[in-house]
Chain A
Amino acid sequence: MTENILNFGHGDRLTGTLTLPPESSPAKSTAILLLNAGVIHRMGPHRINVKLARHLAQQGFTVLRIDLSGQGDSLSPERPQSFEQQAITDLQAAMDHLQRITPVKSFALAGICSGAHHGVATALKDERLRALWLMDTHAYPTPRTYWVRAMRQLQQQPIATLHRWSKRILRMPGASSGAKPAPTPMNDNPYGKPSKAEFAADIQSLLNKQVRLQIAYSNGAFWTHNYQNQWRDAFKDHGAVARVPTELLPDVDHTASTLNAQRHLMASVSRFATQFD
């Protein structure tokens, strides 16, 4: 396994780290792209991208970890575009460059949170991006989501939960003053949340283009996605979208902040990657 620094894109303003498989193992024709999660530079939260890239390279993949424009060690663009369009431009520049210097034919992307959304936006516009592993993309709760959430609260904090519920039911003054507020989802995703129908339409477009998908949700999404078949239930009126493979990763948090979480995350991406040549 070897690692090289790449500069690419307009004026070589973008920076990435290319991880190549060992010379002894035949390189696969699909390259995997990893990118920033939120504002974290390309090593990824808790260095997960470095660990994942090296792990995938051992499986024969060429992996490029990218700092998008203005992030990490990449310069800001000379002519800025919208946040989403800039990410697409940057990812396309990465694919252009990789195709110039390696024999890779197609691309997969593993993205967390905003990285996942960048992946969807790019795959909708560029035929070369053939597979997406997406963690903590948009979530659409069902009635069962709220039930699972309530039962977990009751199980773990029975007295406080009952107290909070009874106050709400009785509409007592100060009902929320003594109760712990619901966890605030990490605010590292500048994309707005599309309606379920809009998101389903995007996913359907990807399916029509035969993009392979794996949707994963960490326990960081527990408040909005918390049981195994939630995706299927949420999109049951959207045909093939409901059958997209999804995975609940209860041992992984939103930024893979333990070594155990990182092992589970890497295993999930690796399982997905075994489909590619």
Chain B
Amino acid sequence: MNPFFFGPLDHRLYGVYHPPANSQRHSSQVLLCPPFGQEAVRTHRLQRLLAEHLTRQGVHVMRFDYFGTGESAGADQEGTLTRWRDDILMAHAELTLRTRAQHTTWLGTRLGATLAIMASELCDQPPDRLILWEPILNGPAYLKELGEAHARETFVPVVHAQRPSAQVRDEIIGFGVSEAWLKQMNDLSITKLNPQCKEACIHLARAEDTSATAPLSAKCEAMGGARWQHIPTSTSVAWHTEEAGGSALVPPDLLRQLVAASTGGLA
């Protein structure tokens, strides 16, 4: 596990490169694209363990933080969706430079999956596999979800006289957001997303969420060559809760499914 900064001095991003186990090394790499805000905190442990599982199977893995998030440079409010989309491209270039791998998978979680789709549209060499774990496909609906989570998670009965507003203004559970971020999120729609990949676009979500992705699967299959695959998950993640809230940080079934999807095995 090698943590490092990369990118230009005024836009330094934090990355962690997980080299593959020597005995199993092969020419595949996986870039993990994290979700937003509290969801990124919530899944940090899972992403690390996922990386460690993959390296044991000979895969190069890199985790990273978008600008203005986690360990990367920048304040919360400096992040925008377009900047984070470009950060994925920068992280991909950094990982490829280190590994020279021939086969690439991007695994995006929630908003990270959406950003991975957006980045795939701009990438000269799109990834072979695009794994979308519960992607955000409707910006206004996600903002509503985040606003409700903010009102719920920041309200302490008895301590606070009233519940905070569920309208997102400049923060979401302690993570600042800008007007530009809000505008881009309001404009986010599945109709504007065109995933690009060479081999497979894999959608991980609960079975009941399958129908929402029909337009994406149609676009994916229209590309020719790439197949759309849905992997149903039975694990419901409490995305916005405090990490110590009592729910499992690393559900074993989910970890197994993510490893299998990343390595091409059947879940």
- A39 at the B interface (CB under 8 A): yes
From 11 to 46 in chain A, residues with beta carbon under 8 angstroms from any chain B beta carbon are 15, 17, 38-43, 45-46
- B251 at the A interface (CB under 8 A): no
Nearest Cβ distance between residue B10 and chain A, in whole angstroms? 12
The closest CB in chain A to the CB of B245 belongs to: A186
- B243 at the A interface (CB under 8 A): yes
- A267 at the B interface (CB under 8 A): no
State whether A45 touches B174 (Cβ < 8 A).
Answer: yes
State whether A180 touches B157 (Cβ < 8 A).
Answer: yes
Q: Tell me which residues across on chain B come within 8 A of A258, comparing CB atoms.
A: 154, 164, 171, 173-174
State whether A73 touches B249 (Cβ < 8 A).
Answer: no
Binds B, one of A91-99, A139-147, A149-157: A149-157
Nearest Cβ distance between residue A79 and chain B, in whole angstroms? 19
State whether A186 touches B244 (Cβ < 8 A).
Answer: yes
State in angstroms the CA–CA spacing of A15 and B17 once bound together: 13
State in angstroms the CA–CA spacing of A38 and B244 once bound together: 7
Q: Tell me which residues across on chain A come within 8 A of B71, comparing CB atoms.
A: 17, 42-43, 50
Interface size on B, residues (CB 8 A): 38
State whether A257 touches B153 (Cβ < 8 A).
Answer: yes
Q: Tell me which residues across on chain A come within 8 A of B244, comparing CB atoms.
A: 38-39, 186-188
Q: Tell me which residues across on chain B come within 8 A of A187, comparing CB atoms.
A: 244, 246
0/1 per residue, A61-82, Cβ < 8 Å to B?
Answer: 0000000000011010000000
Residues of B contacting A: mostly? loop
Nearest Cβ distance between residue A261 and chain B, in whole angstroms? 7
Nearest Cβ distance between residue B140 and chain A, in whole angstroms? 23
Partner of B154, one of A5, A15, A152, A257: A257
State in angstroms the CA–CA spacing of A187 and B243 once bound together: 10
- B45 at the A interface (CB under 8 A): yes
Nearest Cβ distance between residue A55 and chain B, in whole angstroms? 11
Given the interface pairs A47-B70, A73-B48, the reply to whether A153 lies near B176 with Cβ below 8 Å is no
- B148 at the A interface (CB under 8 A): no
State in angstroms the CA–CA spacing of A187 and B246 once bound together: 8
Binds A, one of B1-9, B94-102, B217-225, B229-237: B1-9
The closest CB in chain A to the CB of B69 belongs to: A47
- B159 at the A interface (CB under 8 A): yes
State in angstroms the CA–CA spacing of A259 and B173 once bound together: 8
State in angstroms the CA–CA spacing of A7 and B48 once bound together: 17
Q: Tell me which residues across on chain B come within 8 A of A45, comparing CB atoms.
A: 41, 174, 242
State whether B5 touches A256 (Cβ < 8 A).
Answer: no
Q: Tell me which residues across on chain B come within 8 A of A9, comparing CB atoms.
A: none
From 27 to 49 in chain B, residues with beta carbon under 8 angstroms from any chain A beta carbon are 38, 41, 44-45, 48
State whether B156 touches A73 (Cβ < 8 A).
Answer: no
From 151 to 188 in chain B, residues with beta carbon under 8 angstroms from any chain A beta carbon are 153-154, 156-159, 161, 164, 170-171, 173-176
State whether A5 touches B153 (Cβ < 8 A).
Answer: no
Nearest Cβ distance between residue B228 and chain A, in whole angstroms? 34
State in angstroms the CA–CA spacing of A40 and B242 once bound together: 10
Partner of A157, one of B4, B41, B158: B158
Q: Tell me which residues across on chain B come within 8 A of A47, comparing CB atoms.
A: 69-70, 76, 174-175
Q: Tell me which residues across on chain B come within 8 A of A15, comparing CB atoms.
A: 1, 3
Q: Tell me which residues across on chain B come within 8 A of A43, comparing CB atoms.
A: 41, 70-71
Partner of B158, one of A3, A41, A152, A188: A152
Q: Tell me which residues across on chain A come within 8 A of B153, comparing CB atoms.
A: 257
State whether B154 touches A73 (Cβ < 8 A).
Answer: no
Partner of B171, one of A183, A219, A259: A259
From 212 to 254 in chain A, residues with beta carbon under 8 angstroms from any chain B beta carbon are 219-220, 222, 253
User: A interface vs B, CB < 8 Å?
Assistant: 3-5, 7, 15, 17, 38-43, 45-48, 50-51, 72-73, 75, 149, 152-153, 156-157, 180, 183, 186-188, 219-220, 222, 253, 255-259, 261-262
Would you give 7 A-B contacts (Cβ < 8 Å), ordered by A?
Answer: A38-B244, A39-B244, A40-B243, A41-B45, A50-B70, A50-B71, A153-B158
Q: A73-B48, A156-B161 are known; give 20 further A-B pairs, CB within 8 A.
A: A3-B73, A7-B3, A38-B243, A38-B244, A40-B44, A41-B41, A41-B45, A46-B175, A50-B71, A75-B1, A152-B158, A156-B158, A183-B156, A187-B246, A253-B159, A256-B174, A257-B173, A258-B164, A259-B176, A262-B174
